[in-house]
């Protein structure tokens, strides 16, 4: 008798829950997505916000740079990524001018990949071979002020080897 009462109670509760889920009270229907029909543009760049957009062509052999040259460069008014706070990366980008400024980037000659099933690593790096066009955005301002930059130097952090240098 006790089992019948428990079973009847469960059926009664399940019926109530099922009725709520299948009723059109917002649970069973997909949420309504409100789309803004008038796009809101990003705020225009402030007068001091300028960047140098470089395209550098690298020739890699198993992740090692064989050749590097500047393909194109231009200065534009735009907000820049916050690169000066970043401390990690294989390469050091040094900006010379009235003062030296530096930030760090990863070596584009290595791509992150999923490791083999037998590996305990969360990821692994795969060395690239061939030609890679690499975009590099260089902020020409820091802490809300324009900085004077006339040359960019890219160095390997471990070896100190100069990889690339150009006037911008």
pLDDT at 18: 54
Q: Do the beta carbons of residue 60 and residue 132 sit within 8 Å?
A: yes
As a whole number, mean pLDDT of residues 148-159 equals 96
pLDDT at 113: 86
Residue 15 in this model has a pLDDT that exceeds 80: no
As a whole number, mean pLDDT of residues 122-129 equals 88
The pLDDT tens digits for 72-108 are 999 999 998 889 988 889 999 999 999 999 999 999 9
Token pair, residue 96, equals 């010379």
Question: CA angle at residue 140 from 151 to 100, to 5 degrees?
Answer: 50
Three-state DSSP string of 105-142: ECCCCEEEECCCCCCCCCCEEEECCEEEEEEEEEECEE
- Tell which wins on pLDDT, 82 or 21: 82
Q: Do the beta carbons of residue 141 and residue 80 sit within 8 Å?
A: yes
Proportion of the chain above pLDDT 70, given as a percent: 86
User: Binning pLDDT at 50, 70 and 90, where does residue 27 land?
Assistant: low
**pTM more than 0.75:** no
pLDDT at 5: 77
The pLDDT tens digits for 31-61 are 778 777 787 888 888 889 999 999 999 999 9
């Amino acid at each position: 008798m006790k089992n019948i009462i428990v079973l009847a109670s469960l059926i009664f509760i399940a019926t109530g829950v099922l009725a709520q889920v299948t009723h059109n009270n917002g649970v069973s229907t997909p949420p309504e997505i409100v789309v803004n029909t008038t796009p809101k543009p990003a705020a225009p760049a402030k007068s001091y916000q300028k960047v140098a957009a470089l395209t550098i062509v690298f020739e890699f052999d198993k992740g090692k740079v064989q050749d590097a040259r500047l393909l194109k460069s231009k200065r534009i008014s735009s907000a820049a990524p916050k690169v000066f706070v970043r401390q990690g990366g294989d390469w050091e980008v040094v900006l010379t001018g009235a003062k030296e400024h530096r930030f760090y980037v990863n070596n584009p000659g290595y791509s992150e990949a999923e490791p083999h099933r037998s590996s305990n690593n969360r990821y692994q790096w795969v060395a690239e071979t061939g030609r890679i066009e690499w975009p590099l955005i260089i902020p020409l301002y820091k802490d809300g002020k324009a900085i004077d930059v006339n040359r960019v130097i890219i160095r390997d952090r471990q070896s100190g080897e100069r990889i690339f240098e150009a006037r911008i």
